[in-house]
Amino acid sequence: MKKILLTGGLGYIGSHVAVELIDKGFEVIILDDLSNSELFVLDRIKEITGKDIIFEKGDIRDYDFLYHLLSRYNIEGVIHFAAKKAVGESVQKPLLYYDINVSGLICLLKALGDHSIKKLIFSSSCTVYGSPDSFPVTEQTPFGDTPSPYGKTKQMCEQILEDASLIADYDIVSLRYFNPVGAHPTGKIGELPKGVPNNLVPFITQTAAGLRDELSIFGSDYNTPDGTAIRDYIHVVDLARAHVRALEANLGKYVALNVGTGKGHSVLEVVKTFQEVTGVNLPFKIVDRREGDIPEIFGDTNFANHKIGWKAEKGLAEMLKDAWRWQKSLLK
Ligand code: NAD
Ligand code: WQD
């Protein structure tokens, strides 16, 4: 049985990937410092899968900890989720973001090199494309201007990985996530935003649950059919399955893949679909655009389909239904 280390594996995406990997017969070891996750998630993963998971609490910037962890287990591959991800916070705390996201990756790469571990999957983001002007974006679309330190850390990390792959016998895949939403269909794991959510779907579900008064839609004067901004929302379980496929594939050196659905949805479409599938009324108002937001992005996913045989299967209605089930479970 292949042992896979998930850094940041108790977080939103890592926890869903842990479930999919265990379902496919992998043995999962989770490393997390619990800075943005809760220990109960470990029990939930065990409940869903019926399997035991090794958990190691620690920081990816701690080389000695990483070195000893990798020495203890015969790890064949690593999926690196551990990072800070709040765009706004990264403007306030750029050094923290560069330290955890960039220095953390370098520390991990050194420890992997010292154990001859070749296989690495990296959590990248469509934010590397900045504000593109033609759609869908392909992996050949160049990196764009991304105003936040967060976005820049993802560009830097991809560059570091590509350069590292040139001098060693690595097999590295960067997965460029579009907008992951939804939750596991069991309602046992999902996103756990701290404080007021920045992202659209958790804000919607918290408003529907009565925890927020109303949703503010940021801008209705974009050059899109209904004037609101367009994104490529992807179900977190589909996204998780792309990691399993990327681990199983043998692509060699370095490759970056778009992981989205290939379809764009406007903010108003998301709101309407949520109301339709849940039957819950969602109070909202239109306000000014949010600073730094781009009008539109959605990805071409043919390359991922070709390279790892993966395609998203779940649509917006399922994403929102599952997100709502998860939100309701948090109220109990
Ligand atoms: P998350 O915050 O839920 O998960 C990250 C996990 O890493 C958390 O459990 C946190 O406790 C842990 N962590 C943070 N710093 C650490 C450190 N120094 N050492 C050890 N553990 C640490 O975030 P997520 O949404 O699951 O995102 C996972 C990855 O995917 C991140 O790299 C993020 O940048 C990337 N990503 C996320 C999205 C998104 O919208 N959620 C989109 C694109 C890319
Ligand atoms: C989606 C749409 C908002 C909240 C961010 C990061 C990106 C990636 C994914 C990590 C936008 C609108 C939102 C609200 C709204 N993360 N919105 N009211 O901004 O596309 O991407 O998460 O890599 O890097 O930037 O996602 O969910 O915040 O917003 O109208 O209360 O919803 O303006 O058009 P975004 P989001």
Which one of 12, 98, 129, 150 is the catalytic residue?
150
Closest listed ligand to the CA of 81: 1
DSSP 8-class letter at 141? S
Q: Report the alpha-carbon distance of residue 302 to residue 219 in Å, rounded.
A: 31
Closest listed ligand to the CA of 182: 1
67 catalytic residue (yes or no): no
Q: For residue 332, what pLDDT is reported?
A: 80
Q: For residue 252, what pLDDT is reported?
A: 87
Omega of the bond prior to 136 within 30 degrees of 0, cis? yes
Instruction: Show the 3-state SS of 182-251.
Output: CCCCCCCCCCCCCCCCCCHHHHHHHHHCCCCCCEEEECCCCCCCCCCCEECEEEHHHHHHHHHHHHHCCC
Q: For residue 248, what pLDDT is reported?
A: 95
Ligand 1 centroid–CA 227 distance in Å is: 31
Residue ranges lining ligand 1, Cβ < 6 Å: 7-8, 10-14, 32-37, 59-61, 81-83, 85, 100, 104, 123, 125, 177, 180
Burial (Cβ within 10 Å: 0-12, 13-18, ≥19) of residue 59: middle
Q: What is the mean pLDDT of residues 249-260?
A: 95
pLDDT above 80: residue 209:
yes
Closest listed ligand to the CA of 151: 2
Ligand 1 centroid–CA 310 distance in Å is: 22
Residue ranges lining ligand 2, Cβ < 6 Å: 85, 87, 125, 127, 179, 198-200, 203, 215-218, 229, 231, 267, 290, 293
Q: For residue 331, what pLDDT is reported?
A: 86
pLDDT-derived band at 1 (thresholds 50, 70, 90) equals low
Ligand 1 centroid–CA 279 distance in Å is: 32
Looking at ligand 1, which atom is closest to the CA of residue 154? 34
- Best residue among 7, 34, 36 to mutate for probing ligand 1's pocket (most ligand atoms within 8 Å of CB) is 36
Looking at ligand 1, which atom is closest to the CA of residue 126? 43
pLDDT digit string, tens, across residues 133-166: 999 999 999 999 999 999 999 999 999 999 999 9
Q: What is the pTM of this model?
A: 0.98
**Could you tell me what percent of the chain has a pLDDT over 70?**
100
Give the SS3 label for residue 287.
Answer: strand
Ligand 2 centroid–CA 165 distance in Å is: 32
The mean pLDDT of the chain is 97
Ligand 2 centroid–CA 2 distance in Å is: 36
Give CA separation, 290 vs 88, 130, 177, 216, 259, in Å.
11, 15, 21, 10, 25
Listed residue (185, 235, 181) closest to 204, CA to CA: 181
